[in-house]
Amino acid sequence: MDHNHKIIAVDFDGTLCYSNWPELGEPNTMLIDYLLQEKAAGNTPATVEYE
C-alpha cells in the first residue's frame, strides 16, 4: 500500500471562494485548478470547517 501522498486541507469561505460570509463570491479558480491537479496526482484535497 502506497502512503506517499499529501492531504491538503483548505477552508471554504475566503479560500476556495472570495466571499463576505454568509454570501458566496466568485470561485478562486487558481486554487481550485491547483487542487484538481493535486487530486489527479493522487493527493487528497479536503475542506476544513471551523465553528
- pLDDT tens figures, 26-48: 889 999 898 889 888 888 877 66
Pairwise CA distance, residues 26 & 29, whole Å? 9
What was the pLDDT predicted at 2? 60
Establish if 44 belongs to a structural domain. Answer: yes
What was the pLDDT predicted at 16? 84
Establish if 30 belongs to a structural domain. Answer: yes
What was the pLDDT predicted at 50? 60
Establish if 1 belongs to a structural domain. Answer: no
Name which residue leads in pLDDT, 13 or 41.
41
Establish if 37 belongs to a structural domain. Answer: yes
Average pLDDT along the chain = 80
Establish if 2 belongs to a structural domain. Answer: no
Total domains present in the chain: 1
What was the pLDDT predicted at 33? 92
Establish if 17 belongs to a structural domain. Answer: yes
Say if residues 41 and 7 touch (Cβ distance below 8 Å): no
Which domain range does residue 19 map to? Answer: 7-48
